[in-house]
Each structure stands twice: as C-alpha cells, then as structure tokens.
Amino acid sequence: MSEIKYKRLLLKLSGETFCKPGEFGINGEYVERIAARIAALSKLGVEIAVVVGGGNFLRGEAFSEKSHIPRHTADYMGMLATVMNAAALQETLESIGQPTRVLSAIEVSAICEPFIRRRCLKHFEEGRVVILAGGTGNPFFSTDTCAALRAAELQADLLIKATKVDGVYTDDPMKNPDAKLLEEVSYTEVLQKGLKVMDPSAVSLCRDNNIPVVVLNIFQEGNITKVLKGERIGTVMG
Ligand code: UDP
C-alpha cells in the first residue's frame, strides 16, 4: 500500500471498452478483464469510483442526427445505456468477490441507488467499488464531463480515462501512420489544439480544479497499477 501514490481514483471507462473493436453491446470477456483489473486495485486499498460511458450502445448526438428522435431524448437513452453497462460491471465484479454499489444520476430505483456524495464516501469506507451510472443526469453532457465533475466533487487524487488506445496522439493513429503518442500535454494545449482527450467542458473542469488526468490503454496488463505507483504510462494531462 505504501507504494501507492494516489488514494482515491476516478476511473472513466468508455463504453467501447465493454466490447470488441467495431462491435456494439457488451462482451462478457471484455467486462471480465476490466473487472479483474478494478478488483486488483481495490485490494491495494485504492478507493475507486468508476464512471461508465454508454457509447457501446448509443451516443445521443449521433443517434439523433440519423433518426427522428430529438437530442434530449436520445441523450436520456444514452444515459440509460450507461446504466446497462454499470449493471454488467457490478455483477461481474461481484462474481469475483469484489463488493460494489451502483449510484445513478437518473433514478432507476429497481437496480441502483441515487448518486449522493456522502453515500458514495461511505461506500469507499466500506471497501466497495462505486460504479457511477447515468452520467450527470442531464442531456447535452457526456460521461467525460461527468467523470471530471465527480472527480472534483469526490476530491479524487487522479482521473484515469481508460480506453483501448495507448493515450493521446497528435493525429488519428488509425488514419495517419505518422501520428505520435503524446507523453504529456497541458489542459490549455488540449483546448487550443482541439486534441481528442476529453470534451472541452471536461477539460475545463479538470483544469479549474487541478485534477490530473492520465489517458491509457486498460487492456495492457498492470497499466493502472503502474500509474498509481507513480510510473509514467499513456498520456498525462495536467
Ligand atoms: N449522456 C448525457 N448526459 C451525461 C452523460 C451521457 O446525455 O451526463 C448521454 C449522451 O447521449 C452520450 C451517451 O449518454 O452520448 C453515452 O455517453 P458517452 O458518449 O459519454 O459514452 P462513452 O463515449 O464514454 O462510451
């Protein structure tokens, strides 16, 4: 435990980490791999809140553009998608013995508790991994913004954005073979250059509250633990 530099972690899991590249929905094997990593961190004594995305099912903006469903409704559908991911992650974590609670910003009382900051802190004390569903509870926001907001509210020491790529690149590495991985980037640089780290409102919230952010590949074994021990992995935004 003494080697761990950060006590409270806000982990943002994009919906795409729940399924195979290019696929949709939830792939049990992918969720198992993520759950194993989270449970290992919890055993090290790290307090963990996980904000889950929903892009493996639906992203409101894109969905509304190609349908007759207005943005606000499509966004609520996206928030419901995060609840599905949260339920899958909860069951998978508990199947390997990790106690959890799902707290949601939108009311889905049959399967989760409402998000209440003090309740969340109590769950940390009890050694539970807290899964935060429903984003901010408001349309026109993203789960990245939710992650920044909750990181500030819960006074997290670090925000990790877990993705399927190794960090932030100068360009899209899939399209440009010369794209380079950035080891370090400032909040202002991200905002000015429009780098794809998180959306601007999330970056501003992190900047205003001095929350360091690490973007990394969750499927590389041991990545998160290394970061928590102070190793440089992925891209650091600060
Ligand atoms: N969403 C929202 N408000 C929030 C968070 C999410 O309306 O506070 C909706 C929005 O439509 C978004 C979708 O939920 O596209 C899924 O979240 P996101 O796109 O952030 O998921 P990710 O890209 O991380 O998988």
This complex has an ipTM of 0.99
Instruction: Please identify, by atom number, the ligand 1 atom nearest to the C-alpha of residue 76.
Output: 7
Instruction: Indicate if the pLDDT at residue 38 is higher than 50.
Output: yes
**Residue carrying structure tokens 């055993």:** 43
pTM of full prediction above 0.90: yes
Per-residue tokens: 82: 């995060």
Domains of the chain by start residue, with CATH: 8-237 (3.40.1160.10)
The predicted-structure confidence for 223-234, as pLDDT tens digits, reads as follows 999 999 999 999
In this prediction, what percent of the chain has a pLDDT beyond 70?
A: 99
- Contact 90 CB / ligand 1 (< 6 Å): no
234 lines ligand 1 (CB under 6 A): no
Q: What is the mean pLDDT of residues 25-50?
A: 96
Residue nearest to atom 13 of ligand 1 (CA): 78
Per the annotation, binding residues are: 12-15, 54-55, 59, 75, 136-143, 163, 169, 172
Q: Which atom of ligand 1 is the closest one to the Cα of 74?
A: 11
Q: Which of 71, 85, 143 to mutate to test the pocket of ligand 1 (most atoms within 8 A of CB)?
A: 143
Centre of ligand 1 from the C-alpha of residue 53, in Å: 6
User: Once rounded to an integer, what is the mean pLDDT over residues 53-63?
Assistant: 97
pLDDT of 3: 87
229 C-alpha to ligand 1 centroid (Å) = 30
Q: How confident is the model at residue 1 (pLDDT cuts 50, 70, 90)?
A: very low
**Contact 59 CB / ligand 1 (< 6 Å):** yes
